[in-house]
Every structure is written in structure tokens, then in C-alpha cells.
Amino acid sequence: MKTSSVNPSSVISSTVTADGRGSSIPEGEYRELLARVTDWVQGPGEAWAEEIESSGSVSDDLWKELRREGFLSLAAPRSLGGAGLSFLQWMGLMEVFSRSHASVRMIVHVLNGTWRAMNPFADETQRQKFIIPAVAGESVVAFTLTEPANGSGVDITSSVRRDGDTYYLTGRKHLITFGVRCDYWLLFARLEGSTGRGGTVALLVDRNTPGTVVEDTSRTMGVHGTDHASLTFTDAPVPVANRLGAEGDGLAVALGGFLTPSRISVAMSCVGLAQRAQQLAVDYARQRTTFGKPLTSRQAIAFSLAENAADIAAARALTLTAASAWQDADPGAAALSSMAKLTAVDMLTRVTDKALQVHGGIGYWQTQPIERVYRDARAQRFEEGTNEIQKAVIARDLLGGDLG
């Protein structure tokens, strides 16, 4: 199946901002990189997928290979040690990475994104200590916002009390991707006794901080191999020097420069995974014969595949529109990112369901790649906010005010 790639030649500002907008690489260089990523995904990436599914874990060797290939440093500007891609160029690569195993996609998505949250609020010392090593793939920073008893916003209850140059952190976090193997948690809490956005802080918490209990909660329906953690903190000491921005900037760090592009990246991940499901369905339909005829001759099958193709193309177009809006600092980018994510995850559900149906009963067996794709697709409905959260974001943009 032919798949088109992002046109990287859109207009880019000559000024590179803290979130990377303004970076780009020449189109010829980009095309070579796109081809290299595609070759890796279709070759070594497939071998890694088999190993991950067999072992249930992602080995250190895979992390090292992704770092050696430069795949963990693609999205950041050159000033931070990255490849300097534009956001649209990066989305073209995410589309390809997402056709690989979901844990591969998760690694490159997260490690190419957390710097966006940190860099606009970091001082130069923090940039050298935390951000540049993370961009290089030398350290892993886990985004640590969600709590078991709350949502993922102003209602967070994990708290800190300050004593001189130290915060003492108490609270719980869960569903933290790479929370087990990370070097730092980029953690969001509030000043003890505060309410609202103004009391929130963003802290880089060392993985080995005393007063911390890490529970490995990695057994999931899909996305095998990616580790997840539940975290409990009891008067865990964190240097004030590890705070990004000022007191009160916590949610700005969490949501400002990170969430919008990350939602767009997840939407493009849905597009890439849907393309993978569609390719598997097309290949199987061409090979499978029933009652003397190939499945592709059956109108019901052909129409299902045609619907998939239209569904994927529509979601991809909306995702690129959102990506272009964010790249151009369009104020409507946040709502568009939610539209893209909402549309893409629903598309992925439909496409993977039809792709599995094309395979018939054999598609339910773990020997078939479509079985893994089907499982992995369900996780996208939660990543960076459920469909209901995306609808709330869109409705607020459309109608104004707060929803009850």
C-alpha cells in the first residue's frame, strides 16, 4: 500500500523558539531520514517487535539502538543537541514509527516530547543538567501528572511544603509511563494548603529520592514492554533548584508547551497504526481464497477496505492541519489538536476492527500481527486524555466558558 509523507517545505520562521518552532531541515535531507526510518521500522523494528512480544519487556539493547540511530533526538532543535526537524517533519516520522511495535512508538514519542514541557521554563543550569542529556537519550524523564483519585489538571492533590532550599513531597501518582526505569520524574504538585492553578509547581524528582515507593504496574492489555508505575511519596526531599519556572507555573509547564503537540503526535500515531492494520488486511485479503475466489473479489471485503482508506486519509488530513496550526503558533491549535486526537482514535477503532474482521477467526490468534495491532490500538483512547476530555476542550473553544 502506498503511503504519502508530510511535505516538509511549509514556511518556517527563521527564529527558533524554546519549544522548537522555527527549526527545520532541508527537504532532501529530510527525505533521506524518512527513508532510513522506514527501512529500520520494516527491518530491525519488526525483529524487535517479535522479541518484545515474546519476552514481555523492552531490553536495554533496544534503547541503546534507538539512541545510536539518533531516533531519540529527532524533534528537538540543534541548540539542544537535536536534529532540528520542524514539527510537520517530525509528524512525518511519527507516522512511520507508529507502524512498528507500540513500545517502540512510545519510546520515540515520549523522549522526543518531554523537552517541550521543560525547555521554556528551564534556566541554563537546568538545561545542561536535565534537558540536553534527555534529548541525547542519556537520561529518561517520565511525565508525572496523573493521580489515582483525581483527574490530570487543577485538581491534583500531591503537595509540597518548603523548608529553606528543599521541598518535601507527599502524594500519589499512577499510570506513569517509564515511571519504573526513568532517571527523573517530571512531577506536578501543589504548594501545601493552596488551591487552583496558582499553587502548582513542576519539579524534576530524582528516581532514587528517599521517601519514594515505586510499584511496577506494567501488565497491560496491549503496548507490551512499556513500563508503567504507581508512585507514593512521603516527605520526599526535592531541591528547590529542581523546580521549573516559578511557584504557580506547574500547570503551565504540564499543559502549555507539551499537551497540544503531544495530542497531535498521538493522533498521528493512530494514523500510522491504522495504516499498518490496513496493510495487513489488504495483504491477507489478496492471499486468502474462499470458494475458489480471493477475498478481494468479495464486495463486502473490498468495501470495508475502501472505507478504511477514506477514514485514514481524513484523519491524517485533520492531523496535519492541527500540526501546521501548532507549528505556526495559531491560537486555534489547542482545539484542533483535540479534534485531531478525537477523530484519529475513533478512526483507529473502526479501521482495526474491520482489519481484524477481514482476517476472520485466524486474526484472533497471537501468531498474527493484526492481533497485536488490535490490542495496541485500544490504548490510544486514553493517552493524552480520553475522548470525553477532547470533547470538553473543543466545546470550550466553541462555546466559551467552563463546562459543568
Contact 367, 314 (CB under 8 A): no
What's residue 14's pLDDT? 43
Instruction: Round to whole Å and give the CA distance between 162 and 202.
Output: 14
Joined grid coordinates for residue 158 = 500531591
What's residue 403's pLDDT? 61
What's residue 23's pLDDT? 82
What's residue 9's pLDDT? 40
Instruction: Round to whole Å and give the CA distance between 76 and 132.
Output: 10
Of the options 3.60.15.10, 1.10.540.10, 2.40.30.10, 1.10.8.100, the CATH number for the domain spanning 27-113 = 1.10.540.10
- How far is residue 106 from each of residues 99, 126, 136, measured CA to CA in Å? 12, 25, 17
Catalytically annotated residues: 384
What's residue 10's pLDDT? 41
Of the options 2.40.110.10, 3.30.70.100, 3.60.110.10, 3.40.190.10, the CATH number for the domain spanning 141-250 = 2.40.110.10
C-alpha 167 chain-centroid distance: 29
What's residue 2's pLDDT? 45
Torsion of CA 280, 285, 288, 289, to 10 degrees: 180
Query: Which residues make Cβ contacts (< 8 Å) with residue 217, sequence separation at least 6?
Result: 174, 175, 228, 229, 230
What's residue 256's pLDDT? 73
pTM: predicted TM-score of the whole model, two decimal places? 0.91
Q: Considering the domain delimited by 258-399, tell me its CATH architecture.
A: Up-down Bundle (1.20)
- Residue ranges covered by each domain of the chain: 27-113, 141-250, 258-399
pLDDT under 50: residue ranges of the chain: 1-6, 8-14
What's residue 15's pLDDT? 64
What's residue 184's pLDDT? 98
